[in-house]
Amino acid sequence: MSVVAAFAVPHPPVIVPGVGRGREAGIAATTAAYEEVARRVAELAPDTLVISSPHTVSYLDYLHVSPGRGARGDFSDFGDRADGSSVTYDEEFVRELCAEAKDAGIPAGTQGQRDPSLDWGVLVPLHFIQQCLDTSEFKVVRMGLAGFSPIEHYRVGRLVRRVSERLGRRVVYVASGDLSHKLAPDGPYSYHPDGPIFDEAVCNAFVSGDFLSLLTMDPGLAERAAECGLRSFQIMAGALDGTSVTAELLSHEGPFGVGYGIAAFTPTGPVGSDPSRAYEGAYLAWHADRLAQVRADEDTYVRLARTSLESYVWDGVRLDVPRDLPAELTGRRAGAFVSLKKDGRLRGCIGTISPTRASLAEEIVANALSAGLHDPRFPPVRAEELPELVYDVDVLGEPEPVNDRSELDSARYGVIVSAPDGRRGLLLPNLDGVDTVAEQLRIAARKGGVSLAEEGVRIERFEVVRHL
């Protein structure tokens, strides 16, 4: 046996009547589509339900699979203790999946569990499924997401399929995840114009079954849309790797400012029946072209940051400032931040508010090394990661005091929040996912361990020139 169907579903607790208390009427189309999914799952009579959820245990560098014999959970965090689910885990499937991940070099397993209770990303799908099929009639594999690249999440899905074949399981894959959380001004994260764009792109993929578009989605777009389901959908795509499928978008709506999409994918042939739907090769070619274009477009500032880190990590040599740099780098001093990204996600960022070196060039060299090797949020960059990194260099203007928050603009100005005792936090401008001054100040204050309500807190703004 193998993966007999896959479903992409949202997880709004408000859809459960005990939580919504009437508000669930506002997402009637989602409820109807969920009921259709439940009927189909019951008809398929799966041995195992594999569910990926963004709200279970998640780590940047490790994909967690829930251990143990089973778990239960309810919606008490949302004011409803009466509704919940209890499941039995497919322990053999979990063992085989973890072994496959280890053999494939994918950091995934059962370590690091904090709360064994079922999260709402799992409970909402189960709420509907158990209305048509008792949870005692199937077992569950529950996994989280990670800070992996799209192709690594895809490979995890492929392992799910491989284990299902080896064990002879009829598996239904459930990819739990909402779309954008920024569809309306009164939504949980306000509005961003990229919210509807993201939803449209994902829904187009659901209609066409074009999973490659889910793998090559712009990470900045996803960040600005404040989504939570994309990586879950990428694992689902891997579970259907190389298989011809019928794709159906059953519903999409966003009345509460959050996008809820439900889609069904039904295999119409055996594994390998459609090589054009085995997307790893196409993704790797796209990724290589993208990185080559990034390198070709680098300016002198970014190239200096990159070669500084590469020289040290590959050869153990601290780069001397090249002699042929323009005077704007060698003849002036300024604070600068160097940011590293890998697969669209931050991999390191270190900088200086004011100049600490003899020239801006030396500032960039030093901060590139610090961003790659000494950012306490990340392990040091490894040599094999260097070809995957994308660099930004932000050159800071002089900070100036802010007398009123109306003088701030999160797209134009960075902010510095300082306490009288020297604590201070900084946030650069125009960052994906930071759309308001209030959010910008909150993050900057948190970084510096400062409360905006403290007596004597000072706010400064600064402009940057961003080099990509």
Over residues 220-245, mean pLDDT: 96
Q: Is the pLDDT of residue 101 over 80?
A: yes
Distance CA 344, CA 326 (A): 30
CA gyration radius for the chain? 24
The CATH number assigned to the domain with range 289-467 reads 3.30.700.20
Q: How far apart are CA 467 and CA 303, in angstroms?
A: 10
Residue ranges of the domains in the chain? 3-279, 289-467
Residue given tokens 């389901």 in the structure block? 229
Q: If you average pLDDT over every residue of the chain, what do you get? A: 95
Q: Where are any strands of DSSP class E within 108-148?
A: 108-109, 139-143
Tokens 């074009």 sit at which residue?
A: 210
165-219 tens-digit pLDDT: 999 999 999 999 999 999 999 888 889 999 999 999 999 999 999 999 999 999 9
Please name the amino acid found at residue 18.
G
Task: Give the pLDDT of residue 435.
Answer: 84
Query: Rounded mean pLDDT of 143-161?
Result: 97
How far is Cα of residue 56 from the mean position of the Cα atoms in its chain?
A: 14
Mean pLDDT across the stretch 324-340? 95
- Least trusted range by pLDDT, from 39-48, 138-147, 451-460: 451-460
pLDDT value of position 285: 96
Which amino acid is present at 242? Answer: G
Q: For residue 158, what are the CA distances in angstroms to 138, 141, 264? A: 21, 15, 18
Is residue 1 pLDDT above 80, yes or no?
Answer: no
Identify residue 403 by its one-letter amino acid code. Answer: N
Q: 38-52, 65-79, 447-461: which has the minimum mean pLDDT?
A: 447-461
Q: What was the pLDDT predicted at 187?
A: 83
Cα dihedral across residues 89, 90, 96, 97: positive or negative: negative
389-396/336-342 β-pairing: antiparallel
Query: By three-state DSSP, how is residue 133 classified?
Result: coil
Region of 22 (left: φ > 0; alpha: ψ -120 to 50; beta: rest) is left
> Which residues sit opposite 390 in a β-bridge?
341
Residues with Cβ within 8 Å of residue 153, at least 6 apart in sequence? 145, 146, 231, 234, 235, 238
67 and 94 Cβ atoms separated by less than 8 Å: yes
Average pLDDT over residues 262-286: 94
In the prediction, which pLDDT does 417 show? 95
**One-letter amino acid for residue 135 of the chain:** T
Q: Is the pLDDT of residue 432 over 90?
A: no
CATH number of 3-279: 3.40.830.10
Same fold, 3-279 and 289-467: no
pLDDT of residue 346: 92
Q: Which residue has the tokens 């089973």?
A: 70
Average pLDDT over residues 427-455: 91
Residue 154, pLDDT score:
98
387: burial class by Cβ within 10 Å (0-12, 13-18, 19+)?
Answer: exposed
